[in-house]
Structure 1
Amino acid sequence: MRSAIHVLAAVAALATAVSAHATTVRIHYDAKDGDIRVVGTKGPMTWDAAAPARKEADGVWTYTWPDKLGDVEMKPKLGKDNLSVGSAYKLPAGAVLDIYPFFGAPFGKVTLVPDFASPQLNNKRNLRIYLPPSYDENRAKRYPVLYMHDGQNLFDAKTAAYGAEWGIDETANALIAGGKMDEVIVVGIDNTPDRIPEYTPCCDPKYGGGKIDAYMDFIVDTVKPWVDAHYRTLKGKDDTAIMGSSLGGIASVYIAEKHPEVFSKAGGVSSSFWWNQQALVKNAKGSARRVPVKFYLDAGTSNDGVEDTRLMHEAMRGQGYRDGVDLLYIEAEGGSHNEKSWAARVDRPLQWFFPWGSTRY
């Protein structure tokens, strides 16, 4: 088998050889003793008749068609019958697109990393890591990463604080299989008995708080480097998001605003913008600083602090964030402050942050 360097050199040579008047898809998949074919909307390929892709290097297949065909939708096949999971890939005329398909069952898996130490907070906690469906099948692929708080509530009702989970793994699996969301790694960071201070800036008159900067440093300087070293991640800010609920919601907004060079997406689900007499809302109103981060905010209409979240939404609009562009605000009719409500709408931020076909390699 060629070395990784030889494979990269072959792919680089192919890229320079592609005609300026040709549209090309590069399919990264180790087909073993099989082959890769292409179905699509135009040219020799149709949805019923597959055209053979050309093997350019170990695990790299290409298919090219003239730009004059215009925009094309296509999917790869493994052999005659095995169509890739998810939606079609859309290529505008003239594009050169790398894709990393998979053909097996659309089910990710959750692994536990116990007793992960935080030097910043002088404590330990578990990490719960969702690996997407193709992780073991297509080992050439790397993935965006979503960091989430309250990790024990995300994947398993048995460990969830109130016996109800978010169902992040089930929701992600369904969205990926349906071609509505790109594959991602989700890192659930368990909370500790110090949850309130770790998730909050100083200092609420009733609840105190004030350890969020240390918790932020734990995520940025300890958790993320470890995850990047141990899993096949896309490390850049464009592929890194953070999200949580309640106090975890304000923690996500706070951390992303402090580190826009690390996170390009942040989600606050039922965020506790009441904290410290609406300090985060007031800070947003008093600041013209707009960071290059895509924010998601929501609240339920049933005893879920929707009034505070509306104020934060309006304050962020005043900072220059644009609805539907870098700010998505949702009011969930009848939604309340619990995991069941969050599970019912978590598909919204997942699709907003990672829509199908949005990841670039």
Structure 2
Amino acid sequence: MAALFSGVVAGAETINFQLNTGKRGQNVLLASDIFRWQDALPMKETAPGQYSVSMVEPWLYRMEYKFIVDGHWIPDPGNSELASDGMGGWNSVRHVDFREDPILGASDPGSFVRNEITVRDWEGDSRIIKVVRPRNTRGKRLVVVYFNDGDGYLEYANAENLLANLSKDPKMPAFAGVFLNAKDRDREYYANDDYAAFVARTVVPAVERTLNAKIQPTDRLIIGISLGGLSSFYITLKHPDVFPFVTSQSGSLWFEPSRMHRILRKLSGRKLRFVIQMGLYDESDMVSSSREMARALEGMGFDVIHTEFPGTHDWVPWRNLLQQTLRHFFETR
């Protein structure tokens, strides 16, 4: 039974921008680094010469913005905090009241064991795979999370702290993490059959030998961001017996959707579970392709959760969705 949730994550609030030009009928827009200074928001004239617009509060610490009034770019005259725009002018700066998930905070440094294993890829080259595992599972079952762009998840997403802290939760299993890194990201992450087979058929057995554990497929999750999100999605499509659960964070699901749909149709009836997460303020083709893929998965009867978060292509929202993601797949209810 497909379960589709589509919408902005709970708790999202709005922020307002206002400008008084004193002139009626002007074309006034809000431009921001959130939109890469391109997709400006039109502002509505709410009173003669007064313009306003609201947006969902982004999951960021600060944003830079300008107003565009009849084609002229100006900083916000009501905001004294400015930052150089790099072209001799100024952007207005607005701080956002965003709070990190405390689960990402420090964990007991002795609670995890770190290993590096060496495996050979399909070209005969050596790859070093980082594995972190709990020192003591305390009788819990062991779940293994595989991260594409693994060094990024370690450095920018505090993934080791997350896994260690969640492992202490009585409603959660013990978590191990496997941190994968591409040699050539573009070549390997663009739905590459060799890379998919390498992860599923070479890395997974090597990891489980290191863990001295036989992990059930439903106790594995593969996750990635951007191209790594596409790669994770594709690995599940090509090797559903190994990775029936996948999360794509701002994944490049615009890539060859018809190819993905052909593979998915052949998997009809398989108990696969998908989480697709996308920033409202990402590029428009990224947002639309994620929506289309979520609808396609639902239409084919797969279990899919589609979440749009108020953010951009950035590690801040990605790491703050990790707890929600792991609870969705593995929390005891």
**Please, what TM-score do these two structures have when normalized by structure 1?**
0.56
How far apart in 2 are the matches of 1:106 and 1:113?
A: 17
Counterpart of 1:155 in 2: which secondary structure? helix
Any idea what the Cα deviations from partners look like across 1:196-217, whole Å, max 9, x if unmatched?
111123xxxxxxxxxx111112
Instruction: Calculate the aligned-residue CA RMSD, in Å.
Output: 2.7
On the 8 A contact 1:108/1:169 being kept in 2, the answer is no
- Structure 1 pair 228/178, CA: closer, same or farther in 2 (3 Å)? closer
Q: Shift of residue 283 of structure 1?
A: 3.8
How far apart in 2 are the matches of 1:170 and 1:336?
A: 23
On the 8 A contact 2:113/2:135 being kept in 1, the answer is no
How far apart in 1 are the matches of 2:308 and 2:295?
A: 13
**After the TM superposition, which residues 61-80 of structure 1 pair with which residues of structure 2 at under 5 Å, given as runs?**
none
On the 8 A contact 1:121/1:214 being kept in 2, the answer is no
**After the TM superposition, which residues 169-184 of structure 1 pair with which residues of structure 2 at under 5 Å, given as runs?**
169-184=160-175
Percentage identity across aligned positions?
26
Kindly indicate whether residue 251 of structure 2 is the aligned counterpart of residue 271 of structure 1.
Answer: yes
Q: Shift of residue 285 of structure 1?
A: 8.3
How far apart in 1 are the matches of 2:186 and 2:135?
A: 34
Consecutive aligned runs of 4 or more in structure 1 exceeding 3 Å deviation? 104-108, 176-180, 278-288
Kindly indicate whether residue 181 of structure 2 is the aligned counterpart of residue 190 of structure 1.
Answer: yes
Structure 2: unaligned runs, 5 residues or longer: 1-106
Q: Answer 1 or 2: higher relative contact order, Cα 8 Å, separation at least 6.
A: 2
Kindly indicate whether residue 325 of structure 2 is the aligned counterpart of residue 346 of structure 1.
Answer: no
How far apart in 1 are the matches of 2:110 and 2:328?
A: 21
Counterpart of 2:307 in 1: which secondary structure? strand
Q: Shift of residue 290 of structure 1?
A: 4.3
Q: Which residue does 2:298 correspond to in 1?
A: 317
Q: Which residue does 1:245 correspond to in 2?
A: 225
- Structure 1 pair 118/319, CA: closer, same or farther in 2 (3 Å)? same
Q: Which amino acid aligns with 1:188?
A: F
Any idea what the Cα deviations from partners look like across 1:150-190, whole Å, max 9, x if unmatched?
1111213xxxxxxxx11112222333334453212111112
Kindly indicate whether residue 271 of structure 2 is the aligned counterpart of residue 292 of structure 1.
Answer: yes
Counterpart of 2:174 in 1: which secondary structure? coil
How far apart in 2 are the matches of 1:286 and 1:217?
A: 20
Q: Which residue does 1:331 correspond to in 2?
A: 308
Structure 1: unaligned runs, 5 residues or longer: 1-103, 157-164, 202-211
Kindly indicate whether residue 111 of structure 2 is the aligned counterpart of residue 121 of structure 1.
Answer: no
- Structure 1 pair 338/111, CA: closer, same or farther in 2 (3 Å)? same
Any idea what the Cα deviations from partners look like across 1:320-341, whole Å, max 9, x if unmatched?
12xxxx22111112x2112222
Higher share in strand? 2
